[in-house]
Structure 1
């Protein structure tokens, strides 16, 4: 039976193929601290039930965050909160402090932009109100020029019902991370009977509120549930976060003016839902809002000394045109209109980031003197194109790869039909990614080429781990991409459960030319370490998210070197 044409959207892409698990060393036996419950009741005294967090570090300042869970005794009025920042975990050497109020207007969240700090320094912070004190958090400012390395954790796709946050628990134990990047899908907007419902019931992690998220109060309650998880609280308390949203902070396959699942007739205007989602995001995340009058503008840059300029992009909300649907290019006789498909796909009018954000990125890259330009963004930038014969169902991916392997070993054994398969061009089919915005991707590549920069792209979104070389339309190598697996969201392993994941991974790397590495059956995160000479990516996975007991291991380490003769993936030499 031939493979079917690809299903649009992320889960269609995930179902299309299955994944791999590679062997590794360095096992760490751990126990998650997670429990459950949203800790959002208002029946007790004031307390800090959602922990503390910090984010958006600069050389002299950092955002500090917490939320006061209101009690009956505050009468629904304003709550005064005192904060302190110290150089020691015992909070004896206080270097900054202040008092501010919070209220129901901002869902009792608290944000402080603590300034006057020293670059590259570790600080500790705490909040108190009345007799209640928050946990003590640890954070770190950005370094200036004199820094030897930058080490970052990279997360994406943390769906509460699908499992315990063991990935966060493991990252919180790492003592040498400068910051964590979250590339989106920090929460999921589905109703409790939707995506992940069965797993949520089994693990007692059923989504709250029960209905799909539409109103500001809905999104606030979902953030409260996620932030009640002790493992998520632990990783926030251990390091500063630099975050951007993807689609599920709003709705599945969001674009500028809508989403795949949004029904205006039932849900109301999309712009109101988007505003509610963005408002809750800025309340609950330790993000420095670039423009309070335009809260959908979250792209921003961070300079880690002379090593990394990190540009956090919005490829989802502010500029994205609606996704194309491959199914709309088949006629009544199931004939595919390839010419119209390619014409629309490569149209220079199609935007992913939008002209304003692209011009901003151009300026940031031009002005940067850092060794590496690192893009933290949501969706895959690498070309994940499939052979046309596979996309259109003329042959299965298994048959295609078998023919390709035989052609390399024994060309005479390949049939005429198989030669036609192998001669067919590739077709973009995951149109929610950069493959659906071809001209916009070329504009971004041109920025890096024009300014002669070393580019490393970080991506999330797919729930799976990837490493790919990046090529422009003329075949020039322009950089590399590391894509992080999901924290809990399931990958491709469910698509073909009867197949060995290693075999499926080999099939994918054989079919997709720029794809260097695939791991699609495990949950985990990236540890990205940048020096002047290289950027190294350690793919770290946990063995389960279905129970609190877990082990964690680095299963693959890849790197890229600086300079125009490099900028490609290679194996890391043994340490």
Structure 2
């Protein structure tokens, strides 16, 4: 009877469990038949990721002393001095893989912490820490969630803040690990003064462009510290390729920039080279949806809402009459809820449904990129024909006018005077805008792909799952209750702010003084929204127990200076009790 996996069996396994990288089978020597062994330095640090019950991906990159095949050895131990060695090995890397090293260190024990390091000639890497997935009964799981790190926008103080923790089971990175823009692009106004102008100088289009940008990001000390401290579980979003990417194109890909599919292939090859992610199979750079099981407590399902199956985003401009500026809400609603419109694609959606039907952990967590909650704003705001303060002022004025017309005797003299002084603003065009229904503010999110969202919620509801969705992408922090088309709360969503990319305060031009009132106004305008932070950079901490899921948002006071503090006064916390999908603050 066959009792173990051969190398061929291992590499042939589907990647939702284990994939094809260099594999460790135990302690082995580091001898080489080569006449000469070349070496290199570890200037981009080390990392681990995609933990399994008996394995973890280990990553590094060497900067070679000479352009040649570089021999790299690696070690895994139970102690930082490597006196209790568990497994080791040796591999070669070269320019074909951009001198990156990825090891699938197997044969480890479930729920145990390990130390690891790499060696190349006289060079020795820093020592990293990692942890395998637990099995059986698990009391607690703690995950840091982050996304959207734009190098020229500021320092990665959020990574440094998270690296101060010693209690994390993993970091969940929900994408936009890097940005593709060239110098002078998005959020680059202070890059030169900060010494953070991007490399290469131009927009990323070719494989070497993406590789160079990854090398620059991975040279950041704050990011290196966090990678060395804890395993990462990652998915990509759009900027790993280009802004607002979908299956066959992107907003930030122009006709003069070559074939989009070739650009995407280059970007994804670099992603798999530079991130500690386990591929499904050798050379498969397309499919990254997969699950991680934290014993009986948490099943984490990582999704690709961006590249594999997404249809092109809807555009409000296609529903606006260019002459009258009238919005065709009926046609828009029909298109947004089309049953053939897909975010995940059929194969991934079927996999997720089947996985949710079979999952038995107390908490089912969807790790994915974009907001799933219904973020519906009055159409006048969503189509940018009115600002939030302007809409609030005019809506109040319209309410006073309606009360006056109805002969409301409770109107005060002050209200009547205000109405008389401002009633001229209530033109027929303004009144028409105020009467439009609420529509999604962001068509790049699940609001633009409503049918598949309903399928997911219905599947979770049918199994009475305790559903928690985590999201990034928007650069702001949010908390939503997830309601289905019957208005029933099926789960909750917690969204992280960004590492450095600016949020709505940047797009709306809000001053610090305007932020609190605007946050309150948005929460009041959106039915399912329970929390919003529109200004601060930070990360989300999720702690799961058998009784509740706790969400805490931590922010830094600045990203424009390497010296920073925790912005305690803006921190927030919320929880969800088991079998009660309602968000409770405080």
TM-score interval, normalised by the smaller of the two chains? 0.7 to 0.9
Does 1:129 find its partner at 2:120?
yes
Per the alignment, residue 31 of structure 2 pairs with none
Alignment check: 8 A CA contact 1:401 1:511 kept: no
Per the alignment, residue 62 of structure 2 pairs with 68
Structure number with greater Rg is 2
Per the alignment, residue 23 of structure 2 pairs with none
- TM-score, structure 2 as length reference: 0.86
Per the alignment, residue 471 of structure 1 pairs with 483
Per the alignment, residue 177 of structure 1 pairs with 168
How far did residue 71 of structure 1 move?
1.2
Alignment check: 8 A CA contact 2:39 2:70 kept: no
Q: Aligned runs of 1:134-153 on 2, under 5 Å?
A: 134-153=125-144
Per the alignment, residue 30 of structure 2 pairs with none
- Change in 2 beyond 3 A, CA 1:220/1:355: same
Alignment check: 8 A CA contact 1:58 1:142 kept: yes
Provide the rounded CA distance (Å) in 1 between the counterparts of 2:396 and 2:107: 61
Per the alignment, residue 571 of structure 1 pairs with 585
Alignment check: 8 A CA contact 1:166 1:231 kept: yes
Q: Which deviates more, 442-451 or 149-158?
A: 442-451
Provide the rounded CA distance (Å) in 1 between the counterparts of 2:383 and 2:92: 60
How far did residue 196 of structure 1 move?
2.5
Alignment check: 8 A CA contact 1:153 1:528 kept: yes
Give the alignment's Cα RMSD to 1 decimal: 2.1
Per the alignment, residue 449 of structure 2 pairs with 437
How far did residue 331 of structure 1 move?
2.4
How far did residue 419 of structure 1 move?
9.1
For residues 328-382 of structure 1, give each alpha carbon's deviation from its aligned partner in whole angstroms, at most 9, with x where no partner exists. Answer: 1112312222222111111111100011001111121111110011011000111
Does 1:119 find its partner at 2:119?
no
For residues 167-190 of structure 1, give each alpha carbon's deviation from its aligned partner in whole angstroms, at most 9, with x where no partner exists. Answer: 101111100000000000000000
Alignment check: 8 A CA contact 2:39 2:121 kept: no
Does 1:532 find its partner at 2:546?
yes
How far did residue 392 of structure 1 move?
5.3
Alignment partner of 1:54 out of 28, 48, 51 = 48
Alignment check: 8 A CA contact 1:153 1:179 kept: yes
Provide the rounded CA distance (Å) in 2 between the counterparts of 1:449 and 1:404: 37
- TM-score, structure 1 as length reference: 0.87
| Paired residue secondary structure (2:64) | coil
How far did residue 403 of structure 1 move?
7.0
Does 1:490 find its partner at 2:502?
yes
Paired residues, number: 522
Does 1:520 find its partner at 2:514?
no
Taking CA–CA contacts closer than 8 Å with sequence separation of 6 or more, which of the two structures ends up with the larger relative contact order? 1
Provide the rounded CA distance (Å) in 1 between the counterparts of 2:342 and 2:227: 34
Per the alignment, residue 437 of structure 2 pairs with 425
Q: Aligned runs of 1:173-572 on 2, under 5 Å?
A: 173-264=164-255, 266-333=256-323, 334-391=325-382, 396-401=387-392, 412=408, 413=411, 424-494=436-506, 495-498=508-511, 499-553=513-567, 555-563=571-579, 566-572=580-586
Gaps of 5+ in 2: 1-37
Provide the rounded CA distance (Å) in 2 between the counterparts of 1:149 and 1:343: 43
How far did residue 424 of structure 1 move?
4.3
Q: Which deviates more, 381-390 or 540-549?
A: 381-390
| Paired residue secondary structure (2:197) | coil
For residues 50-78 of structure 1, give each alpha carbon's deviation from its aligned partner in whole angstroms, at most 9, with x where no partner exists. Answer: 11000000111000000011113xxx221
Provide the rounded CA distance (Å) in 1 between the counterparts of 2:225 and 2:120: 21
How far did residue 452 of structure 1 move?
1.6
Alignment check: 8 A CA contact 1:291 1:297 kept: no
Provide the rounded CA distance (Å) in 1 between the counterparts of 2:440 and 2:518: 19
For residues 87-112 of structure 1, give each alpha carbon's deviation from its aligned partner in whole angstroms, at most 9, with x where no partner exists. Answer: 01112111000111111110010011
- Change in 2 beyond 3 A, CA 1:392/1:227: closer
Alignment check: 8 A CA contact 2:39 2:71 kept: no
- Change in 2 beyond 3 A, CA 1:117/1:569: same
Alignment check: 8 A CA contact 2:370 2:472 kept: yes
